[in-house]
Copies of this chain bind each other. A is one copy, B any other.
């Protein structure tokens, strides 16, 4: 499976993040800046600001939400008109600073997701990432239902929110029919991608070959100074063939 990118389980993704921030000597500030930058570049690839300037960014309470906050700042500088839905803002020094940076740009924080959705051209789903398990808690069930129902383009960060990281779309609940139009996998695709049919990007251009080998993943072939790489349609077929050959 030499031309197949390999995937990273939820546990391995958490281990890799911990290793990047311990022996890898990255700070969370730095990693989140690079992750959010990748997200913003994926948004730009799919719908540049000339076509869909109004981006509604739904941010969850953890690091996935933080990536969304960083992406929003970059999108503003690319001349989008971002707005943020961030209903659960934990007491966290980094997230609080990212919020100040957005407020200094005059970026609105909305409280009614459904009203904001009516005014948006596209959505970034930065609600839950690779550490999501179990139930979708309030106020997110109705948000995820709305994302499942909307005809707007949705780009999910690392995982379509409410999907199981290993097994993909839930068999019941608000995310049952949620199939976003695009996905950006951070550092490496998670196993859920085999259920994903939209445009698929990988971001996070800081992974060393040594770390990639240790975790059984690949460093994508980024081009130029790009911080994202789109995986072509052939990738998933190659990946599934590779998985089959290994008896998975």
Q: Which residues of A contact B (CB under 8 A)?
A: 23-27, 29-30, 33-34, 37, 40-41, 44, 48, 73-74, 77-78, 94, 96-98, 100-101, 104-105, 205-206, 208, 210, 222, 224-225
**Which of A44, A100, A104 has the most CB atoms of chain B within a 10 A radius of its CB?**
A104
Name A224's contact: one of B78, B101, B206 (CB within 8 Å).
B78
Copies of the protein in its oligomer: 2
Cα of A29 to Cα of B34 in the assembled complex, Å: 11
A93 shortest CB reach to chain B, Å: 9
- Nearest-neighbour CB distance to chain B for A207, whole angstroms, equals 9
The winner among A34, A40, A44, A206 for most chain B CB atoms within 10 A is A206
Task: Please determine whether B206 and A77 come into contact, CB atoms closer than 8 angstroms.
Answer: yes
Q: Decide: A24 near B100, CB < 8 A? Known: A105-B208, A224-B44.
A: yes
A210 proximity list for chain B (CB < 8 A): 104
Residues of chain B within 8 A (CB-CB) of A27 are 27, 29, 94, 97
Which residues of chain B come closer than 8 Å to A101, judged between CB atoms?
A: 24-26, 206
With A24-B104, A30-B29 as known contacts, state yes or no: A40 contacts B225, CB within 8 Å.
Answer: yes
Identify which of B26, B74, B94, B205 contacts A97 (C-beta below 8 A).
B26
B-side contacts of A100, CB under 8 Å: 23-25
Q: Which residues of B contact A97 (CB under 8 A)?
A: 25-27
Which of B44, B77, B105, B206 is in CB contact (< 8 Å) with A73? B206
| Across-interface contacts of A48 in B (CB, < 8 A) | 224
- Contact, CB under 8 Å: B104 / A208: yes
**Known A-B contacts A27-B29, A77-B206; A44 and B105 likewise in contact (beta carbons under 8 Å):** no
Of B24, B30, B40, B224, which one neighbours A33 at CB under 8 angstroms? B30
When the two chains form the complex, which single residue of B73, B205, B225 contacts A41, counting CB atoms closer than 8 Å?
B225
CA distance A190 to B94 in the complex (A): 31
* Known pairs A33-B33, A105-B208, A208-B105; A222 contacts B25 (CB<8 A): no
What are 20 A-B interface contacts by the 8 Å CB criterion? A23-B100, A25-B96, A25-B98, A25-B100, A25-B101, A25-B104, A26-B97, A27-B29, A27-B97, A29-B29, A29-B33, A30-B30, A33-B33, A41-B225, A44-B224, A74-B205, A74-B225, A77-B205, A78-B224, A101-B206
